[in-house]
Amino acid sequence: MGEPLRIVIADDNYLVREGTRRLLEDSGQVVVQAAVGSAPELLDAVRRGRPDAVLTDIRMPAGTAADQSAGPAMEGIDAAHSITATTPGVGVVILSQYADESYAFELFRNGTAGLAYLLKDRVLDVADFLAAVDRVARVGSALDPYVVGQLMHRTDGRHGLQDLTEREHDVLRMMAQGYTNAGVARRLFLSERTVEAHVRRLLAKLDIADTEDDHRRVLAVLTYLRTA
């Protein structure tokens, strides 16, 4: 990581957002441009500061009383979609205490580029967390390994997953977390050519068309796992 990442933090819990700010700033790799408590404040901070990435909770005050009386909502995810539509190049990391894949699929419904869904306790592993934020800021993507594990467990043994080898399962999990073939190769200590072969085979077994577009590939795998 070169220059410090410019980040905006959004969470309606003051202690959470200030604790996150302190933890990340102490790393020396982050400049927190703003720490706000609502979706409108988040969107305003992004417009004014154009950060590298945003860290936001799923649920925050939406602004007006009418907005807040409309029932359960996902203001952070709505803000993420607004940011990617109006301020391209700003990565958005949704931080949640819920390991709920439905939130992840709502976040990724239009694509995965520049988006991440991570559990809040991932922040405590600052080095790994900042690596994920940096990947998202570079228009990559990330999905919490625990959520991926839940998806794999719920669908294991159906629609071709039972045909995957142990290594292909490993590769699939890392694909779903947003790693490119090169990233998977480094983490599994394999050659990139070997990873490419695993990807071709597992996509064929899952009856998912192969593609050179990593983001479409990740989304295809996640969509398959959800609907299987």
Q: Tell me: the pLDDT tens digits for 11-31? A: 999 999 999 999 999 999 999
The 10s digit of each residue's pLDDT in 27-59 is 999 999 999 999 999 999 999 999 999 999 998
Per-residue tokens: 37: 């408590």
CA distances from 201 to 48, 197, 209, 224 (A): 46, 6, 11, 16
Residue that wins the pLDDT comparison between 90 and 183: 90
Rg for the chain, CA atoms, rounded: 18
CA distances from 160 to 93, 102, 227 (A): 31, 22, 13
pLDDT of residue 228: 47
- Which residue segments constitute the domains of the chain, with CATH numbers given? 5-143 (3.40.50.2300), 147-227 (1.10.10.10)
H or E, element range at 96: strand 91-96
Per-residue tokens: 76: 């952070």
CB atoms < 10 A from the CB of 180, how many? 17
91 phi and psi, to 5 degrees?
-75, 150
Is it the case that residue 71 has pLDDT exceeding 50?
A: no
**pTM, entire model:** 0.73
Give the span between the Cα atoms of 127 and 35, in whole angstroms.
Answer: 21
pLDDT of residue 37: 93
Q: Tell me how far the alpha carbon of residue 47 is from its chain's centroid.
A: 21
The 10s digit of each residue's pLDDT in 79-120 is 999 999 999 899 999 998 877 777 887 888 777 888 999 999
pLDDT of residue 103: 84
SS3 content of the chain, % helix, strand, coil (to 5): 55, 15, 30
Give the span between the Cα atoms of 93 and 137, in whole angstroms.
Answer: 9
pLDDT of residue 63: 55
**CB-CB contact of 144 with 118 (8 Å):** yes
